[in-house]
Structure 1
Amino acid sequence: MRRTARLLTGTALAVAAAGFVAAPAYADDGGSGGSSSSSLEVLPSSVVPGGEVTVTTADCENGTAAGDAGAVGAGAFTLAPSTHEGEAIGQFRVPPSAQPGTYEIVAKCAEGDRQVKGDLVVTLTAARGQEPRGSVKTGVGGALGPDPVQTAAGVAALAVAAAGGTWLLHRRARGDGI
């Protein structure tokens, strides 16, 4: 009992120490003007190729900025004043050819030389709440192919095979032989 208590206490201390060592440190640059980097909110933060992304920031004084999503291949876009006072908002579409990865999205405020940055993650799977769209190209074709006559013939052949197999198994079970 005593050994188990020591083991659990030691484990708890080790986990707490690891959490303390691994805790990130944050620093405030004080917003002293210049070319300080601030926050650009990217929504959704994870998107599939072809998806639309909205970016907002409250760090541009007049609510306008020039956005750059060139890292992901979307090019330039504009952030305009939002309905929320003091915020700028803009949108762009991620190209269907975008590769999975994390991309930095940048916006430069219209007044001054302030830049805001945010990260966008491109994935091949839709985020929770997003429904996938499109078809899967497997090369097999649809269930009802281009010729309904061939489909009907295939279904009939399967039905005859199933009925024949059932009849043979029934005869064998009765001992009539094959």
Structure 2
Amino acid sequence: MRRTARLLTGTALAVAAAGLTTAAPAHAGEAAYTGETAVTGTLKVSPSSVVPGERATVNTTACGGHGAAGDASAVGAGTFTLAPGAHEGEVAGEFEVPPSAQPGTYEIVATCGDSGRRVAGDLVVTLTPAQGQVYPRGSVKTGVGGALGPDPVRTAAGVAALAVAAAGGTWLLHRRARGDGI
């Protein structure tokens, strides 16, 4: 019985290990299978992080300077064209991220016109601009009031009342512990 259990456990581990090695992510320049065709190379997305409504530019040298068709439908921008760029052997294109885009990471894909080769890159959509962090201002309207409130005199009076109550309570407990009674 133990031998059968070990054999089944070993077989299950071997199958799991084989599944992990075939599902490993591809690094830049390696091919990864996306279900349709292999994706090779990289697609540079600039800026890599955008706010909904901004434009993003993509470029790649994987197409050898020939045109390509871009697909940004994952973020809701649809298709766009990549044409020969300013640098030798590069194609470039741009698209606008729709104002309705939700925060997250989206895969942008380009398919080379001459070879059908696919390259991909990531675009991050955020709600805050990349230039600097936006910090909240003001108070939260809960209806309870703040710790320091709008009137520091009332706050000081409240703190004094709490201090007198604490001192009085301590004095009464001390008298009771001595047996003086109340």
Q: How would you bin the TM-score normalised by the shorter chain? A: 0.5 to 0.7
| Counterpart contact for 1:62–1:110, Cα < 8 Å | no
Runs (4+) of structure 1 exceeding 6 A deviation are: none
Tell me, in whole angstroms, the C-alpha distance in 1 between the residues paired with 2:77 and 2:105.
14
- Change in Cα spacing, 1:107 to 1:130, as seen in structure 2 (3 Å) is farther
What is the 5 A alignment of 1:94-105?
Answer: 94-105=97-108
Alignment match of 1:67 (pick from 45, 66, 70): 70
Gaps of 5+ in 1: 1-23, 132-178
Structure 2 stretches lacking a partner, 5+ long? 1-24, 32-36, 135-182
> Structure 1, residues 129-165: CA drift from partner, whole Å, max 9, x if none?
799xxxxxxxxxxxxxxxxxxxxxxxxxxxxxxxxxx
Calculate the aligned-residue CA RMSD, in Å: 2.6
C-alpha distance in 1 between matches for 2:26 and 2:65: 31
Shift of 1:71: 0.1
Say whether the 8 Å CA contact 2:67–2:113 is kept in structure 1: yes
One-letter identity of the residue aligned with 2:126: T
- Distance, in Å, in 1 between the alignment partners of 2:66 and 2:132 is 30
Percent identity for Structure 1 against Structure 2:
62
CA contact (8 A) 2:53 2:98 kept: yes
1:113, distance to aligned residue in structure 2 (A): 1.9
Q: Does 1:119 align with 2:122?
A: yes
Q: Mark the structure with the bigger radius of gyration.
A: 2
